[in-house]
Structure 1
Amino acid sequence: MDTLIAIGREAWHILVDSSVYMIFGLLVGGLVKVFVRPGFVAQHLGRGRFLSVFKAALLGVPLPLCSCGVMPAAASLRRQGANRGAVTSFLISTPESGVDSIAITYALMDPLMTVARPLAAVSTAFVAGALENLSEREGQAPIKPDLSCPVDGCCDGVDCPPEVHAAHHGFGQKVLAGARYAFGELWAELAGLFLLGVLLAGVITALLPAELLSSYLGGGLASMLIMLAVGIPLYICATSSTPIAAALILKGVSPGAALVFLLAGPATNVASLTMMTGLLGKRATAIYLAAIAVMSVLLGLALDAVYVWLAINPQAVMGQASEIMPQWLRLAGVAALLALSVKPLWLSLRSRLSGAGGRTCADDSCACHDHGHGAAKGLVGIEVHDHAAGGHGHKHN
């Protein structure tokens, strides 16, 4: 009983520290969805071996999609004419980062890790995408950007000129639509995984001895390789991986080893790699995996060197940003997150208990199927099923 109380206490502290930043990240993610035109995303990813890759890496950073949810969006981009390198870059930078995960990184870690994480994601994505384009010989299809309304699909953007469509939705309507997406569909995707991550972080903080972790994961190449082996097959999103990484650092794991986990975990898992093979082929998937493995280890070693060079004790600075928020505001954030989580968690539990059709998630809370489609439709204007990687997706304008 004492053990369970200790785990619950540590998990509660992590949840309190991260709640306000989580809500902020969700809201920004929702605003990105409605204010960034999907045609703008698609039309910049088809030309140039390097510039398109760099743009794809940058555009993927703020988008809050997991490694499964990003697949339908990537399939849509590919069919619209994005080159393989740009798609590969998008597939790496998007799940490795996101405004929600950046915000919670600042809350639970420190400013250096907050900056290093998206920079590492962009660097890894660019290297992988550039290598893919350099090895690509086939001609690229012209881009056919989707211009449909990202707020409610009221027009296709072709028969309705932008100056006319601009009058359809005011600023307030867009903000409300973004908030509905953020605290509805987006949080439904993340709620279960995030809360599980908080619980696992509580287990690590309460039970694992610091001496054990610091002995094996305190820094160096061996630490990076161990975290790489743990992260690659694991399904975990960028947001839920953050409290786990923070707990590991507090127990003596080096920031570089934690960065390897934060890069490899969200970007790779068996399900997403299978879909990627169908979308881009075996060669692209091999380049994708190799780039993530090599770059995450190199960047992890570099980050540890930066901490040493700046004489920063990571255990001493972890989570200081959360202390800026008053306690009442943090508790209000926890209450809001838990209230928003009731419906998606209940639907997910009900679906698992009923075993409807062998599915593993509810219609309103599926992180890898229905919500991935919704995210794809919101980002690029096309709803794509996972088997679209094989060319049999359905398009809805």
Structure 2
Amino acid sequence: MRTLFDSIYEIVLASWGVLLESAPYVLLGFFVAGLFKAFLPHDFITKHLGGKGASSIVKASALGVPVPLCSCGVLPAAAGLKEQGAGKGAVTSFLISTPETGVDSIAVTYALLDPLMTVIRPVVSFFTAVAAGMAVLYTDRNGIDAEPAVVSAASGSSCSNSCCCEQKNEKKQSFTAKLRGGMTFAFGELLQDIGKWFLLGIVLAGLISVFLSPEIVSVYFGNEYLSMLLMLAIAIPLYVCATASTPIAAALALKGISPGAALVFLLAGPATNIASLTVVSRILGKKAVIVYLAVIIVMSFAAGMVVNNLYGLLGFDIADWIQNASHEDGGIIAVGSSIVLLILIIRPYLSGNK
């Protein structure tokens, strides 16, 4: 009979295994995010989202894909875009594509899932954002834009740093100074916002690995359509960032959940949560939020069905890929990356800065 100590030990061991697989890619993702912060002009996104036409929606969707902001950090950024003249459609697209993916979550998807899902996730995120932006544009053509509320990162969200999206006047800086500033942001402010949720995702993945049996999955998640509906029901109210959702989805896939259901969780979880939806309604209006949520649900469900058929057609088994990856010896790089990542996440709490 499994004792409490045995259960805790198994959870820690399973969580450590997930961390070993993902830590090098997480650090790589944050490094790239730091490069974006250092060398992408602060007004680059705003410049390309002006206007209220279809082109601004496509640009917003594309530009949001690599930007590493969580679903709460994107809110003040979106409010700022609307305040500077971006249309509701473009703002809606940015609100969806940005939290659903990012350079950090794309890297972790490759580490914990498989190359096919690594490509599918940002592609579906882009088209979901375009569809939502277009829907808001055409349903709100006769409406009057409400005045955008001033949204802080703490308003109805779990983010504690508004600096993840603040725009500063650019000054001429040396390459070294820009790089230092970008890395300080990525491994400081951004990591503080996302890191705790990533660790929570790692622990939840460990809990799923230990306590969720394949028998339970076959009973409750065996039906393709029911499993995707259950994932939607779980993901929509839950706060989980794109990076943190990945180990959870990987653990569920390893237990037998379909790739489509895993994708639904990866898309709907980061883009929606009860807290952020209240703030989005202040930015876009209630009518636009209904359209926003409806498009995410429909596109996630449709993408899940397409992905299930695609995996079946190609003969891919996502569980086999995850198992093969997890059997590889992490080595010194994985262990070192895991220790460094843990130190970076925990350090602010130990120093009393959080």
TM-score strictly above 0.5: yes
Decide whether aligned partners of structure 1 residues 10 and 156 sit closer, same or farther in structure 2, where only a CA change above 3 A counts: closer
Does 2:234 correspond to 1:236? Answer: no
How do residues 44-193 of structure 1 correspond to structure 2 at under 5 angstroms?
44-137=48-141, 156=169, 168-193=172-197
Query: How far is 1:219 from its partner?
Result: 5.0
What secondary structure is seen at the aligned counterpart in 2 of 1:234? coil
* Paired residues of 1:89 and 1:129 also in contact (CA < 8 A): yes
Decide whether aligned partners of structure 1 residues 60 and 236 sit closer, same or farther in structure 2, where only a CA change above 3 A counts: same
Aligned match for 1:204, one of 181, 203, 208 = 208
Query: How far is 1:216 from its partner?
Result: 2.5
Task: Give the aligned length.
Answer: 332
- TM-score (structure 1 length as normaliser): 0.79
Query: How far is 1:169 from its partner?
Result: 1.6
* Paired residues of 2:254 and 2:323 also in contact (CA < 8 A): no
Q: How many Å separate the matches in 2 of 1:100 and 1:324?
A: 22
Name the counterpart of 1:16: 20
Name the counterpart of 2:298: 294
Decide whether aligned partners of structure 1 residues 278 and 207 sit closer, same or farther in structure 2, where only a CA change above 3 A counts: same
Decide whether aligned partners of structure 1 residues 343 and 154 sit closer, same or farther in structure 2, where only a CA change above 3 A counts: same
- TM-score (structure 2 length as normaliser): 0.88
Q: How many Å separate the matches in 1 of 2:196 and 2:316?
A: 34
Q: How many Å separate the matches in 2 of 1:218 and 1:35?
A: 47
Does 2:39 correspond to 1:42? Answer: no
**4+ residue segments displaced more than 6 Å:** 322-325
* Paired residues of 1:307 and 1:313 also in contact (CA < 8 A): yes
Deviations 1:244-284 (A, max 9, x none): 00000000000100111111111111110000111110011
What secondary structure is seen at the aligned counterpart in 2 of 1:306? helix
Q: How many Å separate the matches in 2 of 1:64 and 1:200?
A: 22
| Deviates most, 10-19 or 41-50 | 41-50
Deviations 1:350-393 (A, max 9, x none): 7xxxxxxxxxxxxx55xxxxxxxxxxxxxxxxxxxxxxxxxxxx
RMSD: 2.3
What amino acid is aligned across from residue 28 of structure 1 in structure 2?
A: V
What amino acid is aligned across from residue 236 of structure 1 in structure 2?
A: V
Query: How far is 1:172 from its partner?
Result: 2.3
Unaligned runs of 5+ in 1: 142-149, 158-164, 351-363, 366-397
Q: How many Å separate the matches in 2 of 1:130 and 1:183?
A: 35
Query: How far is 1:322 from its partner?
Result: 7.1
What secondary structure is seen at the aligned counterpart in 1 of 2:43? helix
* Paired residues of 1:219 and 1:257 also in contact (CA < 8 A): no
Q: How many Å separate the matches in 2 of 1:10 and 1:198?
A: 9
Decide whether aligned partners of structure 1 residues 154 and 342 sit closer, same or farther in structure 2, where only a CA change above 3 A counts: closer
What secondary structure is seen at the aligned counterpart in 1 of 2:256? coil
Name the counterpart of 1:372: none
What amino acid is aligned across from residue 59 of structure 1 in structure 2?
A: L
Unaligned runs of 5+ in 2: 147-162
Q: How many Å separate the matches in 1 of 2:328 and 2:83?
A: 46
* Paired residues of 2:52 and 2:86 also in contact (CA < 8 A): no
What secondary structure is seen at the aligned counterpart in 1 of 2:14? helix
